[in-house]
Amino acid sequence: MMKWEKLLSLKKHGDTFVRHRLDESETRIGFEVDYDRIIFSSAFRSLQDKTQVIPLSKTDFVHTRLTHSLEVSVVGRSLGRNVGEKLLSKYSYLAQEYGYTVNDFGAIVAAAALAHDIGNPPFGHSGEKAIGDFFVNGKGQQFKKHLSALEWQDFVDFEGNANGFTVLTKSRPGVVGGLRISYATLGAFMKYPKESLPKKPTLDISDKKYGFFQGDKAAFIDVVDELGLISKDKKSLRYHRHPLAYLVEAADDICYTIIDFEDGINLGWIPEEHALEFLIKIVERSINRDTYSQLTSKEDRVSYLRALAIGSLIQDVTRVFIENEESILKGEFPHALTDKCAYIAQMKDIINISVNNVYQSKEVVEKEIIGYKVIHSLLDSFTTAVNNHYHHDETHYDTLVLKLLPEKYHLETDSLYERLMSVCHFVSMLTDGKALELYHSLKVE
């Protein structure tokens, strides 16, 4: 069974010493430092020009990855504080002996939620698929015979969550421990604490994807050992989640369900009457009909319903977590919290409408196709140039291409895996606009 006093570790990745909550300054607790380091990072800033749902959209009210991440963080903070209040009442020793407060729980979940999309490639989730497709069906196929099964799986099933773990933890010359995030926040960030293989369907939500690349295995093991996460088996690196990872996931689920729906309505892709029809059962206990009837614009009416719906879902997800907290600590809760909430039927209805009217809209599909072409082209150019340089076969064109690759991605290493992963990491960190710009610079008709 996991222990909260270990799960709330303030130790920073890269530390050689232990940190204690009682030694912290109340003016700026360690978990809040995590939030600050993430928000000031270049990787987080790039999310302002990365797709949430509507790729390359210039419509100012449509969400980007950055606005989505900020909103998920706000919801996550509320969930963390709600849960923290109840946990500190149940486990009073956490406050009395260790000094933890309600705000610690909120700060951990807020920081992890802020970073939850920090490793996502340009062009939305299709960007992940495009990187994998380059290795499965594109010119990247040639590398398979030179890589182990686990290394190959990292590429053909390229995962934004694992890439995010790299962003948060990867050391560089002069920078030990990456962003130097606390172990508690890293644990809450890892929704899928497992490696890329075995890939097999299970009923456990934490097995849906994977959470770290082979190059980050040592960092992953260090984190799970420090936090005392429970191993699932002895044959592979598969662990049960940090309990607060459930709250990060729930915050994301709440936001993309309700806010993507809101975007679809504001774009005119979903009829406005659907807002009241499908949200009413979530907000019926909190809606003020007089206030709603006085709102004159579509955006204000939808915004009002969205705010009430998110509030209702936060309260119900808190209930689900507390009711199942002991099972979660034992690694015996294989579900997403929203799957067990009272409004799951309404959430599924809303998602189905968003899938049909937004995610599969002609505009979104066309832009995702562009993303595939761009990412395939960039990976082809940069992997060719990097490997030709390593084998001393580089052409003048390769030399020019390498000048477009930032210095930190130039790895003088015998490891093909590390060279390829460095290129994939570079491409994944590009914004939508920068990826397009590079594509046009490199494109040969």
Which domain, by its residues, includes 281? 4-120+243-359
Question: Is the confidence at residue 59, as pLDDT, over 60?
Answer: no
- d(CA 123, CA 289) in angstroms, rounded, equals 39
User: Is residue 419 within 8 Å of residue 143, measured between CB atoms?
Assistant: no
Asked, for residue 132, whether it belongs to a domain, the answer is yes
Show the tokens assigned to 56: 């390359």
| Segment 114-142, tens digit of pLDDT | 999 999 999 888 899 999 999 999 999 99
Tokens matching residue 41: 């990072």
Q: What is the CATH number of the domain that holds 437?
A: 1.10.3550.10
Average pLDDT over every residue of 224-252: 96
Among 313, 334, 359, residue at a domain's last position: 359
What integer pLDDT is reported at residue 62 of this predicted model? 60
**Do 84 and 45 reside in the same domain of the chain?**
yes
Same domain? 51 vs 75: yes
Same domain, 319 and 355: yes
Decide if 210 is inside a domain.
no
Residues 377 and 283 in one domain: no
Q: How many domains is the chain built from?
A: 2
- For residue 30, tell me if it sits in a domain: yes
Do 255 and 402 reside in the same domain of the chain?
no
In a domain, 40, yes or no: yes
Give the end of a domain, one of 328, 359, 390.
Answer: 359
Same domain, 319 and 425: no
- pLDDT at residue number 54: 53
The whole-angstrom separation of Cα 148 and Cα 127 is: 24
CB contact at 8 A, 65 and 260: no
Which of 334, 359, 384 is at the close of a domain? Answer: 359
pLDDT above 90 for 56 = no
| Among 83-97, 143-157, 259-273, the least confident range | 259-273
- Position 176 in a domain: no
Tens of pLDDT along 185-202?
999 999 999 999 998 888
> Is residue 273 domain-shared with residue 367, that is, in the same domain?
no
381 in the same domain as 323: no
pLDDT at residue 30 in the model: 85
Same-domain status, 262 and 252 = yes
Task: Tell me the pLDDT of the chain averaged across its residues.
Answer: 92
* Portion of the chain with pLDDT greater than 70, in percent: 96
Q: Flag whether 345 is in a domain.
A: yes
Residues 90 and 11 in one domain: yes
Clarify whether residues 80 and 29 are in a common domain: yes
Element containing residue 396 per DSSP (H, E): helix 396-402
Q: Which helix (H) or strand (E) holds 373?
A: helix 362-390
In a domain, 232, yes or no: no
Q: What is the CATH number of the domain that holds 79?
A: 1.10.3210.10
Measured between alpha carbons, how far is 342 from 361 in angstroms, rounded to an integer? 30
Q: Report yes or no on 60 lying in a domain.
A: yes
Task: Return d(Cα 10, Cα 18) in angstroms, integer.
Answer: 8
113 and 129 belong to one structural domain: no
pLDDT of 444 over the 60 cut: no
Q: How confident is the model at residue 445, as a pLDDT?
A: 44
Q: Helices marked H in 91-237 — which ranges?
A: 93-96, 102-114, 125-136, 149-156, 160-169, 183-189, 217-227
